[in-house]
Structure 1
Amino acid sequence: MSGSKRVEWIDVAKGVGIVLVSFGHLRNGDGESVWLPALDAPIDAIYLFHMPLFFLLGGLTFSRRGGFKAFLVRKAKTLLVPYYVFSLYFLAKPFAILLIPSMRAAFQTSHDYGIAHQFLDVLVMGNGLWFLMAFFVGECLMYGLTSLTDNGRVLAAIGMASVILSTFVSSQTGWPTLPFQIVAGVKAAGYMCVGYVLKEGAVDVFLEAERKDLVVFSPEERKRAVELYLTTSMTTTEVVEHLGYPTRQCLERRLAKDPRYAGRMRIPIIPPGNQAEGDRTGIGRHAAEASRPAAQRGRRAPLGQGTSFVK
């Protein structure tokens, strides 16, 4: 991936999750361990957390970059297309049984492999590789939620409520089943909300950990730094030096998310190759000037008077 750096421990966690999912699918279509009954207990334990783990990691890596149209196209390519391609396996079974009826006994399951039922089940209900469909629904819900609010407490509360509500709905017998794994998608979005909130805190802690004193600053202090940058002509480096917090990288992340500034930034404030130079190169500062009122452009506040501009 050009221009981005993968987080190794997230990739490792996803790899562990894939292994656990594969292990959990040593059962037949009815969830019975007819081939390896001794694995029932460990498989039950794995089912307690392996899918929530995937969705939580999805929240850690969630991004709305590129706008909704680009986001939707990207997620359709990476989730919907694989879902329908690999779900052809589920459609192959009814054709095989239709041609060779004796094969039904080999599957050792009472599942309805009628062609009409299987097509509806896979193409509309999303019961093929269901987690891909649920992931797609969850990602779309996450886009809407994070567009409405960036408040970590609100998102965490919505996430927990979504998990509880979807668990309740899915446990009800006799209720109509919604198509496209909508209920599972709501649960996925709930776990993703939690992962997203954890990411927001964890990334700032990681960026601030480069400070030798390892002090983690409060949201109010980070907001104060953003306000000082946006209401004066200080560079990010000058703001950090003046306030003593946060780190420059953390401030740049906060600026990139601020609606007064983020809409004009499609690349990092300081490209990775120039980070050693900081704001001394002028990169980012010229781009930032376009988002400032005309009366403020080019104005430089003395370091001792910078806080007079903070609301």
Structure 2
Amino acid sequence: MSQRIEWIDCWKGLAIITVVVGHIVNPVSKYIFWFHMPLFFFISGYLYSKKTDYSAFFKKKLLHLLVPYFSFLFLFTLLQYLPLIIDSWQHKKILSIDKLIISIFPVIWKQLYGGANLALWFSVFWFVTCLFITQQLYNLLYIKFGSNNWLMIKIMLGSYCLAMINYYLKNVAFPWNINVVAMALPFYWLGHMAAKSFLINTKILILGTIIFLTAILLDTVSLLHFAFNMKGTSYGVLIFNVVIALSGIIITQQFALLLYNKSYIGNALRELGNASMIVMYLHQPIQITMKNYPIFAAQGIRVLGALIISYIIYKITCNFSIMRQLFLGDFSTPNAKSSRASASQSVLTQGIRKN
């Protein structure tokens, strides 16, 4: 049974804020992109525990990740094409089967292919499929080779090298962005190792902050042109990409540890952390729609609107079992949820988990 820890929900809350800000606030978006998606893979790895029952693990993650993926994919596609459908109905336009297939098939194919092909409302969908594949592959690797630390290091270095080769030779958009798994896997592994072996401390925080600020300075004065975008397999400078991403990850973790027990801020961040997947899916449609109206077009308003509206929808979703299943991938029974909540509370009274 997974045991939730309060500060990790706070960490996830900070992480989803960086995603929303990174997609809206232009002056800082470049720097946030250096670490915000590696951060999610790192946190997922931090929470990983070995699952020897492959089929059960696969089914659990399929329900939790892919059911909401396809639910939101269908919903957003329907919403985008709904005006066309209504217009055709109002004007009594009847498309022949041939024309219907010709016009709809490319859309369906693009949506199912997913990955980097999806943009705008669908721009974050690549992360969910990439995370699903990363989790399955890492669990397989860890069960087979996890006892051999040096071999795992070699495997992760090999995965990183494949990612960099893909960066320099990129020509193909892979389905579901499966090629990005090569870069996601090392961050997932680093998160898992961080949970097992050490707690980040003040000295490492200072070092991480110095590295990140130095990278911003070098980029600002054009001594180092650094860009990192996992979705587009744009990985920037060799080695520096991992170091800078880890610096951002360290900074956010320390802020989470600092803020999680602060009543108002900590509670708000924990709530956003719990709602992070819904916010991930909804923030782009919300902020893009708001941008079309001058009164809501300011970047700060769109950030707040995307976070608040997404969170309200999350709370509504939690109240209906069919919505929890479709959009949260939550197929647990009320008794199971109550049991998990009790276990979680007992963990919180013991403080932060020992590594």
Q: The residue matched to 1:87 in structure 2 has which SS?
A: helix
CA contact (8 A) 1:156 1:197 kept: no
Structure 1: how far apart are the matches of 2:69 and 2:168?
25
Shift of 1:197: 1.9
Q: The residue matched to 2:198 in structure 1 has which SS?
A: helix
Counterpart among 147, 153, 158 of residue 156 in structure 1: 153
Name which one, 1 or 2, has greater alpha-carbon Rg.
1
1:1-311 correspondence to structure 2 within 5 Å? 4-26=2-24, 39-65=25-51, 67-92=53-78, 94-96=80-82, 98-99=84-85, 115-126=104-115, 127=118, 128=122, 129-150=125-146, 151-174=148-171, 176-202=172-198
List alignment gaps of at least 5 residues for structure 1: 27-38, 102-113, 204-272, 274-311
Shift of 1:78: 1.1
CA contact (8 A) 1:134 1:180 kept: yes
Shift of 1:15: 1.1
Shift of 1:49: 0.4
Structure 2: how far apart are the matches of 1:145 and 1:4?
20
Structure 2: how far apart are the matches of 1:152 and 1:14?
28
Q: Deviations over 1:240-276 (max 9, x none)?
A: xxxxxxxxxxxxxxxxxxxxxxxxxxxxxxxxx9xxx
Q: The residue matched to 2:34 in structure 1 has which SS?
A: coil
Q: The residue matched to 1:192 in structure 2 has which SS?
A: helix
Pick 1 or 2: higher relative contact order, CA cutoff 8 A, min separation 6.
2
Distance 1:165 1:4, change over 3 A: closer
Q: The residue matched to 1:86 in structure 2 has which SS?
A: helix
CA contact (8 A) 2:52 2:143 kept: no
Structure 2: how far apart are the matches of 1:44 and 1:85?
30
Aligned residues: 179
Structure 2: how far apart are the matches of 1:12 and 1:154?
33
List alignment gaps of at least 5 residues for structure 2: 89-102, 200-345, 347-355
Shift of 1:14: 1.1
Shift of 1:53: 0.4
Shift of 1:79: 0.9
Residue equivalent to 1:213: none
Structure 1: how far apart are the matches of 2:183 and 2:170?
18
Q: Deviations over 1:271-297 (max 9, x none)?
A: xx9xxxxxxxxxxxxxxxxxxxxxxxx
Identity %, equivalent residues: 28
CA contact (8 A) 1:134 1:184 kept: yes
Shift of 1:93: 5.6
Residue equivalent to 1:206: none
CA contact (8 A) 1:162 1:189 kept: yes
TM-score, scaled to structure 1? 0.51
* Structure having the larger proportion of residues in helix: 2
TM-score, scaled to structure 2? 0.45
